[in-house]
Amino acid sequence: MTRYVVKTRADSPALKRAAMAIEASAWNALGYLNFTSAHFKHYDELLERFAEFQICLVDEDTGYPVAVGCALPFFCADPAKLPAGGWDWIVESASRMDVAPNMLGGLGVSVPRVHRSKGLARLVIKAMRDMAEQCGFEGVVIPVRPTSKSMHPEVPMHEYIAWTDDNGRAYDPWLRSHLAAGGRIVGEATRSMVVEEPISFWEAWAGRTFDKSGDYAIDGALAPVKVDLKSGMGRYVEPNVWFAYQAA
């Protein structure tokens, strides 16, 4: 039986390189998300500064990570009343660090396709909860990106959250995983990630031209990109779902 051990990017340069490769591969198709203001200004520097919070789930037999999780310590006044700005808000808050952190903010879990459907993401979430407990934090909050929402970009998030499958479970598989891992939905992060770039930027990602203003669906996006020909800009506002976990 395969055994896994939790390490972090701080443990070795090799683990850091492997984690970066896994994350880049998992999110490559959604590279436009790298252009939120918070990501562009702070993300890479924060992962380096807080390398001990960047989880690597390592296969003991190979010594190579099979899943990674990115998280940052930050201050959260009330995990039951989280703001609309989810992912970007965590990054911006961690970059200031003007108040002692009391919470761990989960920014993402990346699992290579070959290792999916093995429950590894839940092990990474558990590692985040364990880490929060070890640091004396109150828990973990995560702006969750529902994996199947991109197939329904026109559906408002509050409606999508309410969808269920034939067994009465949450329709979205990633929401189901978080619920099964002990998380609870505490709200919507309606402006979790905001990307505003020239229309040519979005045309490159969409593989098409936009000949009039309006809302356009692009691959992987959870909501349409709003294109304004007059300003020459396209704006994408990604909604996420806030989950809260108590420390383990």
d(C-alpha 163, C-alpha 170), whole Å: 6
Strands (E), 3-157: 4-8, 55-59, 65-74, 103-110, 139-144
DSSP string for 164-195 = B-TTSSBSSHHHHHHHHTT-EEEEEEEEEEEE
Task: Tell which phi-psi region holds residue 84, choosing left (phi > 0), alpha (psi between -120 and 50) or beta.
Answer: alpha
Q: Note the pLDDT of residue 131.
A: 97
Output the six-digit token pair for 66.
Answer: 């099979």
Tokens 């994996």: give the residue: 147
Residue 201: C-alpha distances to residues 38, 101, 206 (Å):
18, 36, 9
Residue spans of the chain under pLDDT 50: none
**DSSP E strand stretches across the chain:** 4-8, 55-59, 65-74, 103-110, 139-144, 184-198, 214-216, 225-228, 233-246
Element (H, E) at 248: none
Q: Where are the domains of the chain?
A: 4-192+241-246, 196-234
CATH architecture of 4-192+241-246: 3-Layer(aba) Sandwich (3.40)
Element (H, E) at 16: helix 13-27
pTM of the model: 0.94
So what's the pLDDT on residue 1? Answer: 63
Looking at residue 97, what is its pLDDT? 82
User: What are the structure tokens assigned to 101, written together?
Assistant: 């952190």
* Closest-CA residue to 239 (of 160, 181, 178): 160
Q: Which of helix, strand or coil describes residue 65?
A: strand
Which of these, 149, 145, 142, 146, lies nearest to 223 by C-alpha position?
149
